[in-house]
Structure 1
Amino acid sequence: MNKQRLFLFIPVVVVVALAVLFWRGLSLDPNEMPSALLNKSVPAFDLPVVPAPENPQGLVTASHEMLKGKVSLLNVWATWCLPCRQELPFFNTLKAQGVPIYGINYKDDREEAQRWLAEFHNPFVFSVLDADGRLGINLGVFGYPETYVVDKQGVIRYKHIGEMDANSWEKTIKPIFDSLN
Structure 2
Amino acid sequence: MSEPATTNETSPRGRRWLVSLPLLGFIALAGLFLLRLHGGDPSRIPSALIGRPAPQTVLPALEGLVVNGAQIPGLDPAAFKGKVSIVNVWASWCVPCHDEAPLFVQLAKDKRLQMVGINYKDGPDNARRFLGRYGNPFGIVGVDGNGRASIEWGVYGVPETFVVGREGTILYKMVGPVTPENIDSVLKVEIEKALKAGS
Change in 2 beyond 3 A, CA 1:23/1:124: same
| Counterparts of residues 15-164 of structure 1 (less than 5 Å) | 15=23, 17-24=25-32, 27=35, 28-50=40-62, 51-55=64-68, 57-98=70-111, 99-164=113-178
In structure 1, what is the Cα distance between the partners aligned to 2:69 and 2:119?
16
Aligned partners of 2:61 and 2:74 also within 8 Å: yes
Task: Tell me how far apart the structure 2 counterparts of residues 101 and 59 of structure 1 sit (CA, whole Å).
Answer: 12
Please tell me whether residue 168 in structure 1 is matched to residue 186 in structure 2: no
Q: Write the letter of the residue equivalent to 1:163.
A: P
Alpha-carbon distance in 2 for matches of 1:47, 1:13 = 50
Aligned sequence identity (%): 34
**Conservation of the 8 A alpha-carbon contact between 1:53 and 1:118:** no
Letter in 2 for 1:148: F
For 2:74 and 2:137, locate their aligned partners in 1 and report how far apart those are by CA, in whole Å.
Answer: 18
Moved more, 162-171 or 22-31: 22-31
Offset at residue 61 of structure 1 (A): 3.7
Asked if 1 retains the 8 angstrom alpha-carbon contact of 2:92 and 2:126, the reply is yes
**Cα distance in 2 for residues equivalent to 1:118 and 1:16:** 49
Q: Tell me, which stretches of 5 or more residues in structure 2 are unaligned? A: 1-14
Which range moved further: 52-61 or 164-173? 52-61
SS in 2 for 1:42: coil
Radius of gyration: which is bigger? 2
Report the Cα offset of residue 53 of structure 1: 4.0
Which one-letter code corresponds to 1:154 in the other structure? G
Q: Distance in 2 between matches of 1:18 and 1:49?
A: 47
Classify the secondary structure of the residue corresponding to 1:168: helix
Count of aligned residue pairs for this structure pair: 176
Q: TM-score, normalised by structure 1?
A: 0.85
Give the drift of 1:103: 0.3
Change (3 A) 1:140 1:26: closer
> Displacement of 1:64 after TM fit?
1.0
Give the 3-state SS of the residue equivalent to 1:73 in structure 2: strand
1:78 and 1:45 map into 2 onto residues whose CA distance is: 19
Displaced runs of 4 or more, over 6 A: none
| Cα distance change, pair 47–23 in 1 and its aligned pair in 2 (3 A) | closer
Q: Structure 1 26/39 Cα, relative in aligned 2: closer, same or farther at 3 Å?
A: closer
TM-score, normalising length from structure 2? 0.78
Pair 1:20–1:107, CA change in 2 (3 A): same
Local SS of the residue matching 1:96: coil
Partner of 2:10: none
Secondary structure of the equivalent of 2:22? helix
User: Deviation digits for residues 113-164 of structure 1, max 9, x if unmatched?
Assistant: 1222122110111111111111101111112100001000111011001110
Instruction: Determine the structure 2 residue equivalent to 1:3.
Output: none
